[in-house]
Amino acid sequence: MPVKPSVVGTVLELLYNFKTHKKAAVRTAAAKYFNIVGNYEFPIIEPIAWSKTIFLLEKK
């Protein structure tokens, strides 16, 4: 699950020592090895929506 660049994403970067990437960059990297079947955005009322999105991938 890609972490969205946002305030929440920045806090998660600091807490867990990783780097967030723009969705377009993750999509481009994933497209090399997978067909992107879908993209799911969580409803804004769910806390996971503040930092994450899901790509549904199919191996090429």
- Distance from C-alpha of 36 to C-alpha of 33, rounded to nearest angstrom: 10
- Distance from C-alpha of 47 to C-alpha of 58, rounded to nearest angstrom: 27
Confidence of residue 35 (pLDDT cuts 50, 70, 90): very high
- Distance from C-alpha of 20 to C-alpha of 24, rounded to nearest angstrom: 12
Determine the length of the chain. 60
Confidence of residue 39 (pLDDT cuts 50, 70, 90): confident
The string of pLDDT tens digits covering residues 16-33 is: 888 888 888 888 999 999
Q: What is the pTM of this model?
A: 0.66
CA-CA-CA-CA torsion for 4, 19, 16, 43, nearest 10 degrees?
Answer: 10
So where are the chain's domains?
7-59
